Structure 1
Amino acid sequence: MKNNLLPSLAGVLVSLFAVWWLHGFLLVDRCLDSGGAINHKTNLCVGANEQIIELATPSGMLVIYGVVIMALSLSVSVLLKKLGKR
Structure 2
Amino acid sequence: MKNNLVPSLVGVLVSLFAVWWLHGFLLVDRCLDSGGAIDHKTNLCMGENEQVIELATSSGMLVIYCIVIMFVSLLAGSLVRKLFKR
Fold match (TM-score > 0.5): yes
What TM-score, normalized to structure 2? 0.93
Unaligned runs of 5+ in 2: none
CA distance in 2, matches of 1:75, 1:3: 19
- 2:59 and 2:78 map into 1 onto residues whose CA distance is 29
Q: Which residue of 1 aligns with 2:31?
A: 31
Structure 1: segments with no counterpart, 5+ residues: none
Q: CA deviation at 1:66?
A: 0.6
The aligned amino acid for 1:46 is: M
Aligned to 1:14: 14
After TM superposition, the score normalised by the length of structure 1 is 0.93
Q: Percent identity?
A: 76
- The one-letter amino acid paired with 1:81 is R
Shift of the alpha carbon at 1:20? 0.2
Say which structure is richer in helix: 2
- The alpha carbon displacement at 1:83 in A equals 1.6
Q: Runs of 4 or more off by more than 6 Å in structure 1?
A: none
| Residue-by-residue CA offset, 1:31-79 (whole Å, 9 max, x unaligned) | 0111100111111100000111111111011011011001100111011
